């Protein structure tokens, strides 16, 4: 089709067949994208994905069939796409893009990189690798009916991390089932459990240990064998959870020990999962009951507590939540029996027994995985309605990715746009809304010429290991950081070379002379990334808050006279709720949570922002400060967000 339109298109067609492109992710968007690429004329494609195919993928990832369950997504996607175009040269990697093997030199082999990812850490990493290699990146994401595509080019556009991000809103199923690390993971697990026991069972909402977790092995054949074996070995996770529970008469003790003891002990046998994580601690019903005080019923029974707000904001101990779990199971069992055979309950956050069950189950799981437990009020605020993944959304977004790729390969990068797919047509009857790309942020702690941030923490209580894992790796997305203290001696605090500085991990920052105003030079050689960290010592951080990232220059740590005094700190505060590469989301989008096994979250939530006439966005007021923030110029008028979208948790 391109050749038939004349010389310019013939030149582009030749470019497509010659250029090498990298697709990161072979899930919902990735499947559609690979198909589109070969049908458009791309001949040299490399695709990488660590995940294996699950039954729940088959309703929207059309390159996969039932016979492929347990196999590598990347490999099967390659085989399926070659049926569309047998002459294409496709290389598949069943691996993590964050493996050090895929360094800057690897990325420089490509003319273009396209993301179809499902997690923030990998998105951040690919963003940095493309910046380091100076390769254009097309970022994308979907959430239900909403979607977005944007282009990232070093020096010309914002990078993925130029704007503050909210807490991650999309989580792989193996995280929910095997390795939860945040309260939201446990809350989603508890909601899954409610449906498995009392509601409509869904293959996407399995709660037992995932024996096919791709992290357990790097061998695709071994992974497939694990998935197949779990169908044959009588593993309880392949038996209907509801049928099993009914066979026990919804026995509280059996349910408790199965969920919080037996399944956890089984997880502990997956020793590879716990080499770099704290292992979970199983709970035993009889042991827990020894901790139950005589007045536990008075402490936790809703009828005995006055002041609903105070009750909802209490955080009970493990014994209290075990009793709440027991009572809620009994109540829900009775409600199910009253409805008759074959009946199902529907989870509702305003239904007290259902909310009690999720609160108890989520908190018990949080305790097992060494997280601070949450109040009923907090858990209720994080829960909500369920929306499905939409295959058509993935198809639309994949098509838009290819259109942006054609612009880049034609040399028309200035014509590239951020494009939003809305749920409903805007006043101009458009579902697709293009926006001009924003320039790089001068204060970005990733793509600025001299990235710099300020971190507020207690130097007497913060361990070197916490600095490495929670601040540098988790918060700032580094993979293998090296840290040097700017103390005139060049003291090495953290080394990425195994064994060199492990003795420092259990020591506090203050043990190395780090104090208010200290500066740390952090390098990640894999990402070709350097960050200067200014330390502010603070002894009055909020409860359970280990550190804060400061975003305002007046709060920066003192700097030496030679440093620029007016440099702004790059990152926003810890509570920011912007998942965007671009401008901020409207306040009502802050509560949207997308939690699924493989679906892609939008890389921006500016899909539904009201416009003033003339094509310019209003300045939306920040929910906390009340200050207005400037927005990018729209090329069309999008529709305002629906009121009903508040408090949505999308579970794929």
Catalytic residue positions? 174
Please give, one letter per residue, the 3-state secondary structure of 531-544.
EEEEEEECCCCCCC
Tokens describing residue 165: 């991000």
Which residues have a Cβ under 8 Å from the Cβ of 637 and sit 6 or more positions away? 426, 427, 428, 430, 433, 611, 615
Q: What's the Cα-to-Cα distance from 286 to each of 254, 289, 292, 316, 319, rounded to whole Å? A: 11, 5, 10, 18, 11
Q: Is 490 annotated as a binding residue?
A: no
User: Is the distance from CB of 520 to CB of 493 less than 8 angstroms?
Assistant: yes
Q: Is 58 annotated as a binding residue?
A: yes
Long-range contacts of 469-476 (CB under 8 A, 24+ apart): 470/546, 470/547, 471/547, 472/522, 475/547, 475/549, 476/445, 476/522, 476/531
User: Is the distance from CB of 114 to CB of 572 less than 8 angstroms?
Assistant: no
Q: Is 447 annotated as a binding residue?
A: yes
**Could you give the count of Cα atoms lying within 13 Å of 446 in the half-sphere of its Cβ?**
30
Query: What's the rounded Cα separation, in Å, for the pair 254 and 633?
Result: 59
Q: Is 488 annotated as a binding residue?
A: no
Closest CA to 391 of 649, 146, 61: 61
Q: Is 262 annotated as a binding residue?
A: no
Q: Is 119 annotated as a binding residue?
A: yes
Q: Is 422 annotated as a binding residue?
A: no
What is the chain's Cα-based Rg?
26
Query: What's the rounded Cα separation, in Å, for the pair 61 and 33?
Result: 11
**Could you give the count of Cα atoms lying within 13 Å of 460 in the half-sphere of its Cβ?**
4
Q: Is 123 annotated as a binding residue?
A: yes
Q: Is 30 annotated as a binding residue?
A: yes
Greatest alpha-carbon pair distance for the chain in Å reads: 86
Q: Is 49 annotated as a binding residue?
A: yes
Tokens describing residue 11: 């030149």
Q: Is 121 annotated as a binding residue?
A: yes
Residue 355, SS3 per DSSP: helix
Q: Is 117 annotated as a binding residue?
A: no
Q: Is 27 annotated as a binding residue?
A: yes
Question: Where would I find the H helices in 147-203?
Answer: 173-177, 183-197
Closest CA to 317 of 292, 298, 339, 297: 292
Q: Is 416 annotated as a binding residue?
A: no
Q: Is 417 annotated as a binding residue?
A: no
Question: Helices 318-339 and 352-368 meet at what angle, rounded to 10?
Answer: 140
Q: Is 29 annotated as a binding residue?
A: yes
Query: What's the rounded Cα separation, in Å, for the pair 93 and 73?
Result: 9
User: Is the distance from CB of 149 to CB of 563 less than 8 angstroms?
Assistant: no
Q: Is 97 annotated as a binding residue?
A: yes
Q: Is 301 annotated as a binding residue?
A: no
Q: Is 339 annotated as a binding residue?
A: no
Beta strands in 49-160 (DSSP E): 89-93, 112-115, 137-143, 146-152
Q: What residues form the annotated binding site for ATP?
A: 25-30, 49, 57-60, 73, 96-97, 118-123
Q: What residues form the annotated binding site?
A: 25-30, 49, 57-60, 73, 96-97, 118-123, 159, 162, 444, 447
Q: What residues form the annotated binding site for Zn(2+)?
A: 159, 162, 444, 447
């Amino acid at each position: 089709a391109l050749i038939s339109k004349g010389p310019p298109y013939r030149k582009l067609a030749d470019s497509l067949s010659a250029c090498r492109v990298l697709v990161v992710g072979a899930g919902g968007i990735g499947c559609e994208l690979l198909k589109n690429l070969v049908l458009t004329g791309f001949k040299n494609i490399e695709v990488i994905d660590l995940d294996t195919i699950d039954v729940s993928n088959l309703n929207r990832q059309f390159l996969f069939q039932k016979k492929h369950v347990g196999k590598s997504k990347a490999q099967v996607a390659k085989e399926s796409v070659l049926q569309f175009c047998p002459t294409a040269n496709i290389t598949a990697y069943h691996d993590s893009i964050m493996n050090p093997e895929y360094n800057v030199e690897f990325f420089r082999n490509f003319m273009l990189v396209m993301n179809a990812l499902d997690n923030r850490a990998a998105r951040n990493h690919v963003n940095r690798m493309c910046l380091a290699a100076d390769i254009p990146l097309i970022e994308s994401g979907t959430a239900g009916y909403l979607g977005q595509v944007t282009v990232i080019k070093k020096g010309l556009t914002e990078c993925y991390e130029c704007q503050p991000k909210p807490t991650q809103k999309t989580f792989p199923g193996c995280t929910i089932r095997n390795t939860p690390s945040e309260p939201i993971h446990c809350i989603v697990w508890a909601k899954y459990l409610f449906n498995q026991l009392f509601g409509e069972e869904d293959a996407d909402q399995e709660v037992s240990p995932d024996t096919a977790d791709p992290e357990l092995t790097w061998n695709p054949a071994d992974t497939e064998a694990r998935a197949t074996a779990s169908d044959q070995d009588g593993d309880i996770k392949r038996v209907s959870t509801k049928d099993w529970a009914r066979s026990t008469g919804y026995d509280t003790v059996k349910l408790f020990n199965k969920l919080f003891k037996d399944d956890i002990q089984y997880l502990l046998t997956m020793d590879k999962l716990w080499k770099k994580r704290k292992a979970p601690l199983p709970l035993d019903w009889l042991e827990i009951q020894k901790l139950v005080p005589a007045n536990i019923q008075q402490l936790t029974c809703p009828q005995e507590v006055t002041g609903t707000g105070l009750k909802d904001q209490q955080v009970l101990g493990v014994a209290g939540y075990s009793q709440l779990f027991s009572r809620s199971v009994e109540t829900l069992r009775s409600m199910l029996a009253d409805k008759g055979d074959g009946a199902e309950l529907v989870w509702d956050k305003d239904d007290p027994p259902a909310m009690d069950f999720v609160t108890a189950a989520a908190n018990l799981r949080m305790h097992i995985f060494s997280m601070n437990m949450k109040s009923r009020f907090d858990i209720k605020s994080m829960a909500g309605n369920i929306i499905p993944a939409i295959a058509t959304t993935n198809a639309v977004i994949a098509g838009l990715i290819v259109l942006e790729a054609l612009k880049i390969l034609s040399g028309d990068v200035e014509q590239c746009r951020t494009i939003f797919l809305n749920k409903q047509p805007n006043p101009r009857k458009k579902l697709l809304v293009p926006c001009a790309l924003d320039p790089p942020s001068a204060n970005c702690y990733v793509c600025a010429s001299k990235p710099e941030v300020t971190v507020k923490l207690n130097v007497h209580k913060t361990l070197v290991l916490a600095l490495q894992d929670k601040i540098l790796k988790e918060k700032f997305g580094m993979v293998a950081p090296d840290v040097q203290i700017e103390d005139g001696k060049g003291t090495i605090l953290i080394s990425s070379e195994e064994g060199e500085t492990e003795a420092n991990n259990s020591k506090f920052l203050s043990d190395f002379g780090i104090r208010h105003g200290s500066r740390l030079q952090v390098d990640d050689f894999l990402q070709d990334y350097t960050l200067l960290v200014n330390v502010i010592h603070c002894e009055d951080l909020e409860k359970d808050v280990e550190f804060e990232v400061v975003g305002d220059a007046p709060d920066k740590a003192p700097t030496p006279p030679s440093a620029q005094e007016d440099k702004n700190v790059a990152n926003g505060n810890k509570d920011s709720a912007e998942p965007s590469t671009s401008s901020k989301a409207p306040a009502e989008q802050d509560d949207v949570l997308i939690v699924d096994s493989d679906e892609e979250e939008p890389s921006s939530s500016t899909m539904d922002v009201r416009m003033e006439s003339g094509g310019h966005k209003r300045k939306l007021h920040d929910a906390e400060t009340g200050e207005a923030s400037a927005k990018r110029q729209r090329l069309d008028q999008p529709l305002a967000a629906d009121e009903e979208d508040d408090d949505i948790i999308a579970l794929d």
